[in-house]
């Protein structure tokens, strides 16, 4: 996985548009003067192949691979039937055709995502998207026509200054060549941050929070978000997509 990490991270440094060459030169100069630091322990990374995490922190990531549940993306273990018989989603209808995730939402991954969302380290979105693109390539049960980020409510986006799901969605679109329906799924009412609520309150919190564009009728859409915890947000987003006629609704989150 170290190579994948390296590749994603290199891609995360690409600059586009006018002034890109100058920006790249300046950032190269800056990284010589103050080398990039590990996103978790802040140790300098000069000489490391991976420009995001040091070799001590990289094993902090618990990757989710082929043994995962295709219904909810949770690691279901080697005994799961066809990868769908997991205790997390048995009996629950998430409304998803299939789902996948890249890593467990624990330890280092949790810290990375908190640095992205609340520390404003938006380069991390590129790193996550690169790894999600890799997951999408290996998960043959996900075959979307287009990418739909599970965006923030415009009010929260304005306060935060960015929208991590959109950053991830744009990057994933560039890496995979799949079109992006950035405004095809909207939060029509503000919700409280899911992390501040318990499992039961989470479901109520997002109920009816989304509206989806009728343009997605008949399309196979891939909902993209940084984290999937209880699945309440994705379930509500998936319901809105189905109501607008989406043919299949897949979900891909970085962390599960």
**Can you give the binding site for Zn ion, defined by CB under 5 A?**
38, 40-41, 54, 57, 69, 71-72, 74, 86, 88-89
- Pick left, alpha or beta for residue 152 (phi over 0 → left; psi -120 to 50 → alpha; otherwise beta): beta
Query: At its nearest, how many Å lie between Zn ion and the CB of residue 76?
Result: 6
The minimum distance between CB 248 and Zn ion, in angstroms, equals 17
Alpha-carbon 88 to chain mean position: 20
Q: Scanning the structure block, which residue is given the tokens 């990039």?
A: 36
DSSP 223: E
The answer to whether 94 and 238 have CB atoms below 8 angstroms apart is yes
> Which residue is associated with the tokens 């304005």?
158
Query: For residue 7, what are the CA distances in angstroms to 44, 145, 158, 167?
Result: 19, 25, 31, 18
Query: Which residues fall within 8 angstroms of residue 220, CB to CB, at 6 or more apart?
Result: 97, 143, 144, 145, 146, 246, 247, 248, 250
- Counts for the chain of helices (H) and strands (E), in that order: 8, 6
| Dihedral pair phi/psi, residue 225, rounded to 5° | -145, 165
Whose Cβ is closer to Zn ion: residue 58's or residue 197's? 58
Residue partners of 159: CB distance under 8 A and separation at least 6: none
Residue 3: in which H helix or E strand, if any?
helix 2-12
Residue placing its CB nearer to Zn ion in the complex, 12 or 216: 12
CB of 236 to Zn ion, least distance (A): 18
Q: How far is the CB of 85 from Zn ion (least distance, A)?
A: 8
Nearer to Zn ion, 22 or 46 (CB): 46
Sole residue written with tokens 């986006």: 157
Give min distance, CB of 163 to Zn ion, in A: 27
Q: Whose Cβ is closer to Zn ion: residue 60's or residue 145's?
A: 60
The pairing of strands 210-212 and 185-187 is antiparallel
Q: Which is nearer to Zn ion, 101 or 146 (CB)?
A: 101
Tell me the closest approach of the beta carbon of residue 150 to Zn ion, in angstroms. 18
Which C-beta is closer to Zn ion: that of 3 or that of 55?
55
Task: For the CB of residue 120, give the shortest distance to Zn ion in the complex, in Å.
Answer: 20
Radius of gyration, alpha carbons of the chain: 18
């Amino acid at each position: 996985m170290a190579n994948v990490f390296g590749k994603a991270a290199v891609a995360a440094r690409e600059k586009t548009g006018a002034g890109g060459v100058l920006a790249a030169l300046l950032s190269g100069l800056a990284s010589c003067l103050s080398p990039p630091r590990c996103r978790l322990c802040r140790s300098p990374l000069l000489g490391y192949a991976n420009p995001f995490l040091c070799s001590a922190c990289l094993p902090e990531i618990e990757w989710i691979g082929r043994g995962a549940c295709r219904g909810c993306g949770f690691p279901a273990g080697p005994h799961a039937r066809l990868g769908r018989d997991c205790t997390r989603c048995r009996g629950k209808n998430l409304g998803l055709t299939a789902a996948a995730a890249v890593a467990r939402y624990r330890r280092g991954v949790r810290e990375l995502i908190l640095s992205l969302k609340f520390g404003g380290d938006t380069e991390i979105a590129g790193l996550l998207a690169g790894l999600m693109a890799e997951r999408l390539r290996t998960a043959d049960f996900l075959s979307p026509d287009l990418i739909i980020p599970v965006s923030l409510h415009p009010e929260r986006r304005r306060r935060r200054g960015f929208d991590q799901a959109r950053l991830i969605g744009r990057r994933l679109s560039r890496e995979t060549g799949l079109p992006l329906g950035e405004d095809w799924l909207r939060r029509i009412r503000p919700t409280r941050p899911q992390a501040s609520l318990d499992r039961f309150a989470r479901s109520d919190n997002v109920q009816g929070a989304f509206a989806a564009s009728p343009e997605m009728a008949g399309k196979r859409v891939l909902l993209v978000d940084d984290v999937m915890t209880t699945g309440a947000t994705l379930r509500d987003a998936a319901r809105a997509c189905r109501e607008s006629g989406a043919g299949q609704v897949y979900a891909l989150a970085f962390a599960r």
